[in-house]
Amino acid sequence: MFGCFRSIGCLVLLIALAVLGWFNRDQLRGVYSRISGDSTAAETTIVRDGGWQPLSNASAERGRRAVESLSRPTGPSFANLTPSEAASYIFLAATKTLPESAEDISATVIDEKLYVRANVALADFGGGKALGP
């Protein structure tokens, strides 16, 4: 009879420890990195430049090189691009979808989304009729 209660008590304790570990997994990951001697995980920092960055051909070239490095058999498994490199590669090099009148093109990342802005002539969107009556 008491063996059953002991088993249930152990199960409840294990579930409680698993839930506690789940909610504290970020702190536990840091502790594990320090104990195991893995310095790369502890030293990794994310730098976010909240400002808008202009698009340029040089940024497009850096973005293209980073993306193409992923296809090499011995290449990296991921590539970090700045907002300017990503947007420049997409709009200037890969698709060339921006109209000729686009000026002051810049990009930023806000809440993990890439935003691109530019000054574009209204005529590229159908003139004044595109805005309505």
Question: Based on the domain organization, do 36 and 62 belong to the same domain?
Answer: no
Amino acid letter, 20: L
> Minimum mean pLDDT among 12-16, 52-56, 69-73, 127-131: which range?
127-131
Report how far residue 7's alpha carbon sits from residue 15's, in angstroms, rounded to the nearest whole number: 12
User: How would residue 61 be classed by pLDDT, with cut points 50, 70 and 90?
Assistant: very high
Question: Based on the domain organization, do 87 and 109 belong to the same domain?
Answer: yes
To the question of pTM greater than 0.95 for the whole model, the response is no
Grouping H, G, I as helix, E, B as strand and the rest as coil, residue 45 is: coil
What is each CA distance from 17 to 14, 43, 81, 132, in whole angstroms? 5, 28, 39, 61
Span 23-47, pLDDT tens digits: 888 888 888 877 877 655 445 555 5
Note down the domain range covering 90: 53-125
Question: Based on the domain organization, do 21 and 82 belong to the same domain?
Answer: no
Chain position carrying tokens 């093109």: 105
Question: Based on the domain organization, do 114 and 60 belong to the same domain?
Answer: yes
Question: Based on the domain organization, do 117 and 94 belong to the same domain?
Answer: yes
Question: Based on the domain organization, do 111 and 60 belong to the same domain?
Answer: yes
- Domains in the chain, number: 2
| 7 in any annotated domain | yes
Report how far residue 62's alpha carbon sits from residue 132's, in angstroms, rounded to the nearest whole number: 41
